[in-house]
Structure 1
Amino acid sequence: MKDSWGPLKALAAASVINGVGDIALCIFLGYGIAGAAWATMVSQVVAAYMMIEALNKKGYNAYAISIPSPKELLDIVALAAPVFVTMMAKVAFYTILVYFATSLGTITMAAHQVMIQTFCMCTVWGEPLSQTAQSFMPELLYGVKRSLEKARMLLKSLVIIGVIVGLVLGIVGTSIPWLFPKIFTRDQMVIQEMHKILVPYFLALSVTPPTHSLEGTLLAGRDLKFISMSMSGCFTFGALLLTIASSKGFGLAGCWSALAVFQWTRFFLALQRLLSPEGILYREDSSSDELEKLKAV
């Protein structure tokens, strides 16, 4: 609905409640981990209430409860199942990555933990590009004022922004553990392991924001079958690379090289799909039935 302020306000309120609750319940009242759990629960309930109220102000009755019909369930599954497969493939790959890194020993695991945490913090910066594509692309692809030319221009802008953001994040994200590793640890052996993976770390991080813009466009165009199949293929290929890297003794550098290949494969597959004459950005002959169905969804 192009409403970013509603979720932002809810997230801000939840963060404050969670932070204050953690301090009050854990430090002053001594409830420990149970206090942290209660603070998190209350913050989530408040955030949910605020977002429900934001929907109500737009004319919806977010408190209404209805049982979906079989047809509606099939429509939901048709949308949710491919997205679920896509998300699970990504989560599964990162889980396997952690498994192989953990098997390399305590020092290597510590270095991996530092790098994967900074990597995840940096990749968040690319998510708004995906959200922007999902918000603005549908009306250009299937709306009343449908314009594939404007959709291609929007994607071009998003990719350019993604490349710039990716390079900045790659440089900054790589420079911090390279030049200031003692922010994270003073153990020289851990620092050496961190420095061994700076190149694949940069390659994996720099391509992530433009990949988000491409995958967000595919989601907006409801090209869900391709997304789920391509992500499943990337997971299988990435898991195979991780297995080979582990068996050949390539260490943490091999694991992160597999991650870089995983990220770049996602990028090229999504780019090839969108630039294809049969892709959603060039399909001028979409039937009216298909458009109506997508508008309804």
Structure 2
Amino acid sequence: MPITARDREILRLAVPAFGALVAEPLFLLADYAIVGHGLGTTAVGALGVAGAVLTTLVNLCVFLAYGTTASVARQSGAGNHDRAMRSGVDGIWLALGIGVALIAVCWPLAPAIVEVFGAAQEQSAQAVTYLRISLLGAPGMLVVLAGTGVLRGLQDTVTPLVVAVGSFALNAALNAWFVLGLGWGIAGSAWGTVLAQTLGAAVYLVVVVRGALRLGTALTPRLEGLRQAGTAGAALLIRTICLRVVLLVATMVATRMGQAHLAAFAIATQVWTLLAFALDAIAIAGQAITGRSLGAGDVAATKDATRRMVQWGIWSGIALGGLVLAARPLLPGLFDADPAVAGLLLAVLWPVALFQPVCGVVFVLDGVLIGAGDQRYLAWAGVWTTLAYLPAAFLATGFGVVALWCALGVWMFARLITLVRRAAGTAWLVTGA
């Protein structure tokens, strides 16, 4: 399809957003590599347990980025630049408050949280150490989410990319120094990550504070703003919890199928997650463009951008699905899968590939409706689509991992129906500040 001015705008936002999304999981990947090299299998297992807890916390708090993007973009599009920055400042204060609350709640509960995973005693002790130190970086970690939302709302996805890459490089360097150079053990890995996250947050604070001072925006927390951010965040949190329930149930069902099915499912999930990053980059562009155009009162531009981004989602899904099918014969060897796992993986990659065009539309429309501030609808849609998925998931228990992935396809098609139905109407096209 010919490249238009609208396409260039989408790519200007989506390409850097994709880079930032890919950089985020590299934090833990660098930790795994350095800990595995310097401390051995026990420490890697401990990192796996603590990392699962921290990843869950980040995923549950991603509303700090999405909600802030929508509110800042809408106010900016309406020409209310002071109110846009005010929304960003409120989002950052909310992030700080939640980060401090996480430390207060999770620090004393760290042993009990780790115990849920049933790790061996030595692994548990190291996991508690890593988790407790890492919790000190929670305020910084959440400020990064909120700060990213502010800049995306201002149509800037390049700065988050620079911060993400810089934080990753600093994290890797500090981890190598603390673990391999100073011999601090798994605590050194945690401290390296905390420092990298905190410095990344400091960059966002400097950018936002400078913008606020330039506009004369107050930097103190505003109760009404915190309430509004929290209300929008609560709806997005319900949506996120539904997503986590779907993946958790799928993992539980795969576990019941046996080790080979679980391994094939885990590898397929990693492939799907990587593809999701690419599609989610278009969704992030959708959040920023939709919020700005609706704030400016331009419904026609909103519809045009939505139509074009859906096309990008479909074609990107087709391309990514084709890439999976082309790489399919090589993937079992890449993950060093044994013959039983390899056979299952080759089979399950077919539905993974074939569902990508559906995923493309779902991700884009999800981002568009978030940008429109339609979080309440997304929360209810998340509940209903999860309820549609659960029977299919449990029915797949006796039929293997391919059937389980088809159950995930039921979930994606349910999301497709709810999102297309909403986007085809006008209830979400609320204009102005």
Q: TM-score, normalised by structure 1?
A: 0.86
Preserved CA contact (<8 Å) 2:235 2:379: yes
- Please identify, of 26-35 and 44-53, the stretch whose mean Cα deviation from structure 2 is larger: 26-35
Separation in structure 2 between the aligned mates of residue 219 and residue 232 of structure 1, nearest angstrom: 16
Report the equivalent of 1:239: 390
Counterpart AA for 1:279: A
Preserved CA contact (<8 Å) 1:207 1:264: yes
Given the alignment, which residue of 369, 377, 383 partners 1:218? 369
Preserved CA contact (<8 Å) 1:125 1:209: no
Separation in structure 1 between the aligned mates of residue 182 and residue 359 of structure 2, nearest angstrom: 43
Pairing of 1:194-209 with structure 2 (within 5 A): 194-209=345-360
Given the alignment, which residue of 268, 273, 284 partners 1:120? 273
1:137 aligns with 2:311: no
Counterpart AA for 2:327: I
Q: CA 1:257 to 1:110, structure 2 compared with 1: closer, same or farther past 3 Å? A: same
Report the equivalent of 1:263: 412
Separation in structure 2 between the aligned mates of residue 49 and residue 258 of structure 1, nearest angstrom: 43
Instruction: Note the aligned Cα RMSD (angstroms).
Output: 2.1
1:155 aligns with 2:306: yes
Q: CA 1:46 to 1:63, structure 2 compared with 1: closer, same or farther past 3 Å? A: farther
Separation in structure 2 between the aligned mates of residue 196 and residue 38 of structure 1, nearest angstrom: 42
Preserved CA contact (<8 Å) 2:212 2:218: no
Name the SS of the counterpart of 1:122 in structure 2: helix
Pairing of 1:174-185 with structure 2 (within 5 A): 174-185=325-336
Q: CA 1:140 to 1:170, structure 2 compared with 1: closer, same or farther past 3 Å? A: same
Separation in structure 1 between the aligned mates of residue 251 and residue 264 of structure 2, nearest angstrom: 11
Cα drift, residue 100 of structure 1: 1.0
Report the equivalent of 1:273: 422
Separation in structure 2 between the aligned mates of residue 221 and residue 180 of structure 1, nearest angstrom: 39
Q: CA 1:147 to 1:197, structure 2 compared with 1: closer, same or farther past 3 Å? A: same
Report the equivalent of 1:46: 199
Name the SS of the counterpart of 1:2 in structure 2: coil
Separation in structure 1 between the aligned mates of residue 202 and residue 310 of structure 2, nearest angstrom: 35
Cα drift, residue 25 of structure 1: 2.3
Cα drift, residue 63 of structure 1: 9.9
Report the equivalent of 1:109: 262
Q: CA 1:122 to 1:51, structure 2 compared with 1: closer, same or farther past 3 Å? A: same
Name the SS of the counterpart of 2:277 in structure 1: helix
Cα drift, residue 228 of structure 1: 0.7
Separation in structure 1 between the aligned mates of residue 237 and residue 247 of structure 2, nearest angstrom: 16
Name the SS of the counterpart of 1:36 in structure 2: helix
1:97 aligns with 2:245: no
Q: Count how many residue pairs are aligned between Structure 1 and Structure 2.
A: 278
1:168 aligns with 2:316: no
Preserved CA contact (<8 Å) 1:158 1:213: yes
Given the alignment, which residue of 398, 401, 407 partners 1:252? 401
Name the SS of the counterpart of 1:280 in structure 2: coil
Separation in structure 2 between the aligned mates of residue 29 and residue 168 of structure 1, nearest angstrom: 46
Identity of aligned residues (%): 19
Name the SS of the counterpart of 2:428 in structure 1: coil
Separation in structure 2 between the aligned mates of residue 186 and residue 85 of structure 1, nearest angstrom: 36
Structure 2 runs not aligned, ≥5 long: 1-153
Counterpart AA for 1:93: V
Counterpart AA for 1:272: R
